[in-house]
Structure 1
Amino acid sequence: MAGRVRIGTSGWVYPPWRGRFYPTGLAHRRELEYLSSKVNSVEINGSFYALQRPSSYQAWHEQTPDDFVFAVKGGRFITHMKRLRDVDAPLANFFASGVLALGEKLGPLLWQLPPTLAFDADLLDAFFDLLPRTTTAAAELAGRHDERLEGRAWTVTDADRPLRHALEVRHQSFTDPAFLDVLRAHGIGLVVADAAAEWPYLEHVTADFAYVRLHGSTELYTSGYTGEALDEWAGRLRGWTEQGVDAYAYFDNDAKVKAPGDAISLANRLDLAW
């Protein structure tokens, strides 16, 4: 069977989008609703900066169509401050913050490493062993949250579903072929990051899905994608899905309001309709 394609943006709360992508006068609380009528997925990036609340995840679930999917970015406290070490409690807190309230709309979990963190196979092995692979396991992990989540934790799942995890790297040492072996051994997806040559470009499928982050073709977070570039990305995504691999692609070139238009243009090239 062919895989499924999900295309969207990294985040949706951007003041410069208002009046340019979002219609003038659109209530801020309806921006996700509007975006979800144009794309079929979005990457939640507020979860990277701080633990969100269950009520927020519930609201996002309700504001989007039935077939919509969210990717959720793991917290920088885990990846950038703790640098993947001693993260048992932080992981429990992250999953207790409301992630599971997305229910059937919960897609892959994204873990973005800082550019100063080099490849360490043992460190990755240990971290990947901690990651829950089902929503039931995630709920059990969430139940071990610490006092910071008392009174605001979500520790249940409405069904037992598989969980996918993807890793984005930014240090040149990850070009080591042994890195791909670690990902494949744990079933972790490699993020294909198009970042204007700022970070290593690695294009490998290491799990049963592909995950692409489009940060800008020539200038990080700023430049848009030409029609030719979008044609090329459409070809890559189509090729993966023809091999039975699900594909997720998120545009992070939001600084000059390029992301939503590029996402819609890519979806059109793949004849996606919803």
Structure 2
Amino acid sequence: MTIRIGIGGWTYEPWRGTFYPAKWPQKRELDYAASALTAIEINGTYYSSFKPQSFANWAAQVPDGFVFTLKASRYCTNRKVLAEAGESIERFVGQGIVELGDRLGPILWQFMATKRFDPDDMAAFLALLPASHAGVPLRHAVQVRHDSFADPAFVAMARAANVAIVYADSADYPAIADVTADFVYARLEAAQEEEPAGYNDAALDHWARAARDWQAGGRPDGLPYVTPDAPAQAQRDTFVFFINGAKIRAPHGAMALIERVRGRG
């Protein structure tokens, strides 16, 4: 079980000259990002579909052990009745994502902040998430952003489905830290531009400890939990992304956290 740390996407003009070296070829930005980080969350899949060859090309550009997570299409999650999302989910999963092969990490299903917890409808949505496609196992994480989801019933249904509830460190949305799957998915969204790495040293130390706890199967102290327990697990794959907040600082935050997790910070 591993800890993978990264950013959202790899194409962002302000990173040129701050993260990417001056005059670094844009067509090789993914190569560079994959050499410095261990994961990337692809956000473009939220807005549009891609051809299978695109996923195959991305997989070919990154080293062994590197992982892409994918934000699922907004057409799957931005709807009044989630139980009716089956066709959109099938279309998203079937567009060619399995061409990533062993570089394919979890799929992130992100909901609007106005989406409230409807137990029956959410249970129906979770039941639509496929365990595999074309023989490739799939893992799923849901990011909910409304207070009503801080409900033991939601935590229980996510655990029953082995779907991770995304822990989001955010100044704008509530967070749920309950571990509900055999992996953990965290998004650090509260970076500050005045901090060179987005987060100060104390915060980075905290997230390094949390990542190690998650990876070891533990339950980090000091986070907001809905339930008092966690399912027994020896170890868990753990994904941590620096995303939103002060985006220009995201690569530096990810690299600083990688150094700490590896014991060099």
Shorter chain as denominator, the TM-score bin is 0.7 to 0.9
Alpha-carbon deviation of 1:217?
4.2
Q: Which of the numbers 165, 180, 190 marks the counterpart of 1:216?
A: 190
**Residue equivalent to 2:250:** 259
Q: Distance in 2 between matches of 1:83 and 1:50?
A: 21
Is 1:126 the counterpart of 2:120 in the alignment?
no
Q: Distance in 1 between matches of 2:123 and 2:247?
A: 38
Alpha-carbon deviation of 1:47?
0.2
Q: CA contact under 8 A between 1:223 and 1:256: conserved in structure 2?
A: no
Alpha-carbon deviation of 1:81?
4.0
**Residue equivalent to 1:269:** 260
Q: CA contact under 8 A between 2:5 and 2:241: conserved in structure 1?
A: yes
Q: Deviations over 1:185-205 (max 9, x none)?
A: 111101000112x11111111
Q: Distance in 1 between matches of 2:66 and 2:247?
A: 25
Percent sequence identity over matched residues? 43
Q: Distance in 1 between matches of 2:263 and 2:2?
A: 10
Q: Distance in 2 between matches of 1:172 and 1:129?
A: 22
Sort the Cα spacing of 1:37 and 1:272 in 2 relative to 1 into closer, same or farther, 3 A.
farther
Is 1:186 the counterpart of 2:161 in the alignment?
yes
**Residue equivalent to 2:27:** 29
Structure 1, gaps ≥5 residues long: 140-159
TM-score for the superposition, normalised by structure 1: 0.84
Residues 1-274 of structure 1 aligned to structure 2 (within 5 Å) = 3-81=1-79, 84-134=82-132, 138-139=133-134, 160-196=135-171, 198-217=172-191, 224-243=198-217, 244-253=235-244, 255-271=246-262
**Residue equivalent to 1:145:** none
Q: Deviations over 1:29-63 (max 9, x none)?
A: 11111000011111111000111221211111111
Q: Distance in 1 between matches of 2:99 and 2:107?
A: 14
Alpha-carbon deviation of 1:208?
0.6
3-state secondary structure, aligned to 1:212: strand
**Residue equivalent to 1:150:** none
Structure 2, gaps ≥5 residues long: 218-234
Alpha-carbon deviation of 1:252?
0.4
3-state secondary structure, aligned to 2:240: strand
For 2:121, the aligned partner's letter is L
Alpha-carbon deviation of 1:83?
5.4
Give the CA RMSD over aligned residues. Answer: 1.9
Q: CA contact under 8 A between 1:209 and 1:247: conserved in structure 2?
A: yes
TM-score for the superposition, normalised by structure 2: 0.87
Alpha-carbon deviation of 1:223?
8.7
3-state secondary structure, aligned to 2:84: coil
Alpha-carbon deviation of 1:218?
6.0
Sort the Cα spacing of 1:83 and 1:32 in 2 relative to 1 into closer, same or farther, 3 A.
farther
Alpha-carbon deviation of 1:13?
1.1
3-state secondary structure, aligned to 1:36: helix
Number of aligned residue pairs: give it: 245
For 1:97, the aligned partner's letter is Q
Q: Distance in 2 between matches of 1:68 and 1:82?
A: 36
